[in-house]
Copies of this chain bind each other. A is one copy, B any other.
Amino acid sequence: MLMLSDDRRQLRSGCVDDASHGATGGGARPLRDRRKLDSMREIQAVAIELFTTRGFEAVTVGDIAAAVAVSDSTVYRYFGTKERLVTWQDYEPELQAALLRRLAAQPPVDAIRDAYIEAVAPRYDQSQLSRIAFIYRTPQVYAATVEQSYTQHAYLTKALEGAADVDELTAGVIAGACLAAVDVAIGRWQESGGNTELAALLADAFDALAHAAPTGPPQ
């Protein structure tokens, strides 16, 4: 769950690079960016409503485009894939910054947990519930988020190797275990109807990692 960057399809057809500031004259382009973000949010809202009403497969991208009165190509240029209409979100940089800052100051697992508590937990309110619930209810969409967490796992592994004193295999395992904890916590948050604090669920999920170690050698 949650992503630090885009999947290969996004990368190929340059899209979803929100807040991409001009490389031409050097100045910012606030108006265009704002309109694009607004447009993306509107399209996403409509998409999620249609999806939850009629089901993911029953709604075509053309349906969504028509409902928002833009062309199909625009939807694809913005989101790249149908799944990304659901999974897209815009707070990735903050998570990355929190991660970097805390990895330098805390033990690695604590750092990851607290970065999520700091940067993503506050975002999970009722307005996000239908989106997140839909992700967890739709395997095809859930898989798309996992594809994104591919990149995230690699990033975390590298960060851990630098911050903590562990080899690559250990770093990979720790990163994977932490992402699993985050995933379970968000899953539970969604199951609770958004009524449980995500921060508390994250704390509990990470505590549960204490029981994930084997007790003896292989038999």
Contact = CB atoms under 8 A, between A and B. Distances in A.
Interface of A: 7-8, 106-107, 109-110, 113-114, 117, 139-140, 142-144, 146-147, 150, 166, 168-170, 172-181, 183-185, 187-188, 199, 201-219
Contact of A140 (B8, B168, B213, B218): B8
A199 B140 CA distance: 32
Contact of A212 (B7, B168, B173, B201): B173
A169 B24 CA distance: 50
Chain A binding surface, main DSSP class:
helix
Contact of A139 (B114, B147, B170, B204): B147
Given A143-B143, A169-B204, A109 B215 contact: yes
B114 A208 contact: no
B180 A211 contact: no
A168 B215 CA distance: 21
A8 B181 contact: no
Nearest to A107: B215
A184 to B, nearest CB: 4
Contact of A215 (B110, B117, B178, B181): B110
B8 A208 contact: no
Contacts of A7: 139
Contacts of A216: 107, 110
B212 A178 contact: yes
A113 B173 contact: no
Contacts of A181: 173, 176-177
Given A106-B219, A114-B219, A169 B184 contact: yes
Nearest to A201: B169
Given A7-B139, A212-B177, A217 B203 contact: yes
Contact of A203 (B146, B203, B218): B218
Contact of A208 (B170, B183, B184, B215): B170
